[in-house]
Structures are given as C-alpha cells and as structure tokens.
Amino acid sequence: MATHLDRRNNLSLDSLNFFLADVRDGLGPYLAIYLLAVHQWDPASIGLVMTIAGIAALITQTPAGALVDSTRRKRAIIVIAALLVTGSCLVLPFVTSFSLVALTQALSAVAASIFAPAISAITLGITGPRAFTRRTGRNETFNHAGNACAALLAGLFAYLLGPVAVFYLMAAMALASVIAVSFVSPTAIDHDLARGLNPGSAGHGTQPSGLSVLLKNKPLLMFAVCCALFHLANAAMLPLVSQKLSLVNLQMATPLTSACIVAAQLVMVPVALLVGWKADVWGRKPLLLAGFLILPLRGVLYTLSDDPYWLVAVQLLDGVGAGIFGALFPVVIKDLTQGTGRFNVSLGALSTVFGLGAALSNGLAGFVVQAAGYSAAFLTLAVVAAAALILLWVAVPETLQCSSAEADTRQMDDSLARVTNGRQ
C-alpha cells in the first residue's frame, strides 16, 4: 500500500510539474503577438501590459511564499491559482480594452506566483529534506519537458488556428494541473517539514520571521545577490539573439527563435535529472559554479559570429546553465533555511530578487546596444555574469550538510533497494 501511494504521489508531482510548466511562465511573447496581430496594438501599450504583469508577479512572490508557509491547504491554493489562470486565459479573447487586458494579465501573474513555492513545499513535505534534492531534479525535468511540449503545441496550434489558440492551450494545461494535484495524497504532506522545520522539531522554539531569515543569514543574502546578477546577465541574451537573427534573416528569425527555446528546454531535461541525482554526491557548489561559468562564456561566444546557426548553437548552452540553476535554486535555499520554518517565504523573496534582476536586464542590454552595438551588449552581460561567478565562488559556501549518520542511512537504503530489485 505504501509503495502504491508513493508511486501515485510521484506520478502526480510529475504531471503537476509538466502541466504547470507553461502556466507558471505566463503568456509572454504569445500575448504580444496576439495583441499586435489581432488587435493592432502599438508596441508601447503591449510593453506596458507586460510590465504591469511583471510588477504584479514581483510584488506577490514573497507574500505567496509566506502564504504557502502558513497554510495547510497547499493543494487547494494551487487549484484556486490554476482556476484563476484558466479564467484569465478564457476571458482574454473577449476583451479588447487596455484596462481589462492589463487586469487579466496582472491577476494571472499574481495567481502564478503561488505555483513555485507551493510545488517546492509539497515536495519537501512529502520527501523530507534528505530526498528533496533528487525529487526537485525530477520536478525540473518534467517542468522543462512540459515547456518544450507546450512551445511545440503553441506553435502548431497558432499556425493552424491563429494566435488565440495559445490561450485555450494554456487554459487546458491549467485545468490538467488541477486534476494532477488532486491525486496528491493530503496525508502524505508533512506541513512542518514543508515549511523547512527539522524532523521532530514542530512547535519548539520561536519561529523567526521571513525578514529576519533574509537579513541575518549572510550566505542566503550572498546567494540572493548572485541570483540577481545571474538573471541580470541572462534574461536579455535570448532577446538579443532574436534581434540579431532578425537583422541577418528576418524570414527565419521567428522559427529559429522558437528552435532556440525548444532545444534549450530539451537540453535542460537531462541536465536537471543529472543535478537531482548527483547534487547530494558532488555537492551543490561545484554544479552551481559550472552553471554560472557557462553564462559569461555564452556572452563572449555570441560576439564571434553573426551566422544564424552559430547563434542558435551557442544558445543551446543556456539549457545547461539554466538547467543547473533551476534544479539547484530551491535546494540551496532549503539548505540555508533548514530548521527555520521559513523555507517558502525565503524562496519567494529570492524569486523576487532574481525577478528584479531579470526585469532590469533588457533595459541594460537595450541601452548598451543603442550606444555601442550588439557585441558590446553581449560583452557587458558577460562581465555581469563573471561578477556573479566570482561572488558565488568567494562568498557562498557549500550548502550540502551530510552527517555520517545520514550517509550511512542512505547507503543502507541503496543496499536495500538493490536487494529488492534483485528479488524482482
């Protein structure tokens, strides 16, 4: 019975991460294409709507994490958030005014801010801290597979049925995530473990506030700065590549950009799986350093050639760097906040910090492009990425804490698994 329940929970988490992949990231470029092609909006209005949605997401990340920490209805808030996203997507084709479109996107962004901390909390509550790394790697694997699948379907449906088809696809995926989370057993979630308390420590000691955790935990603060710099360097790279592709071959720019996105997501699938399996063995820091090292390397490589296929090939490296970062981001925060009971509010706060870095990235890159050209912009982003790498190396410690007792337990578990598999 326990084995059957574990299998059901694992499959439910797999499905939840797969179907929420595209929902978590929002409509993004698809919304811009729809508003431009169908309603003939000007670029400034489109940009303002997307900015409003981005600000709404930034503002609500930390409160969303605090809500996930405090509530014992984690499945229910995912359902409510998914239904809000579904409603926003289904309403959008029937509204045309700026205020209503902005409202739907802001509401969708606020709802989507729940997903990442809620999934991490449910995962930690089911697995406990020891098995969290491997399960998080599996979560990210299915997340990237879902993103790749959604991008392919969105391109196909938009080609056959027009840009509006993307909204119905996202609504369908949000509803599928509701079904997936309903199959997660509520009794399997330990809500004290889910908020980052140590096993057996529930109710003991005064719980620090999320703000106290952020201000007093220096490694967490340094990691936050590294994340902000990483995304300040990373977020603008794909848009810059798209612009360079447009200058080289306007007709091929859109399909090549789509190929960049899908291929990078497919690369992230095995990378996230590898991180999940090896981060408890190799440590977090070596893997993080490898992921951060790839970013300045990409920035330099982009300047070497304007050939479209070279640019697409270099963009594939994003699958390695972002794949490592995505899989390790919640794991490192779990390590640094273990025992505080404030895992999810810290996760939300650091998501806000790196979201701010990403929001500033395109502005920085655009300013440099206008002043000195694309190569200068890529090199500027590479310098920012190098600063993030150096800071990570110098200021953030290895967060893997593995006592000999835990190692012995893990070895016994592995031996038992081998014996069981041998009998089967």
**Residue 129: per-residue pLDDT:** 86
The lowest-confidence range among 138-142, 195-199, 341-345, 414-418 is 414-418
CB 287 within 8 A of CB 275: yes
The lowest-confidence range among 40-54, 83-97, 362-376, 399-413 is 399-413
Give CA separation, 109 vs 56, 84, 106, 251, 424, in Å: 6, 10, 5, 32, 47
State the Cα–Cα distance between residues 42 and 164, nearest whole angstrom. Answer: 18
CB 395 within 8 A of CB 222: yes
The fraction of the chain above a pLDDT of 90, given in percent, is 35
The residue behind tokens 């529930």 is 202
CB 41 within 8 A of CB 35: yes
> What are the structure tokens assigned to 318, written together?
């994003």
CB 325 within 8 A of CB 357: no
The lowest-confidence range among 185-194, 261-270, 274-283, 408-417 is 408-417
Task: Phi first, then psi: give them for residue 221, nearest 5 degrees.
Answer: -65, -45
> What are the structure tokens assigned to 394, written together?
């110098």
Shortest CA distance to 115 belongs to which of 353, 357, 355, 347? 347
> What are the structure tokens assigned to 225, written together?
């700065």
CB 384 within 8 A of CB 233: yes
Identify the residue with better confidence: 181 or 256.
181
CB 219 within 8 A of CB 351: no
CATH number of 210-418: 1.20.1250.20
**Residue 118: per-residue pLDDT:** 93
Domain ranges for the chain? 1-191, 210-418
State the Cα–Cα distance between residues 144 and 388, nearest whole angstrom. Answer: 24
CATH 1.20.1630.10 fits 1-191, yes or no: no
Assess whether the region 1-191 and the region 210-418 belong to the same CATH fold: yes
Entry pTM: 0.82
- Summary mean pLDDT of the chain: 83
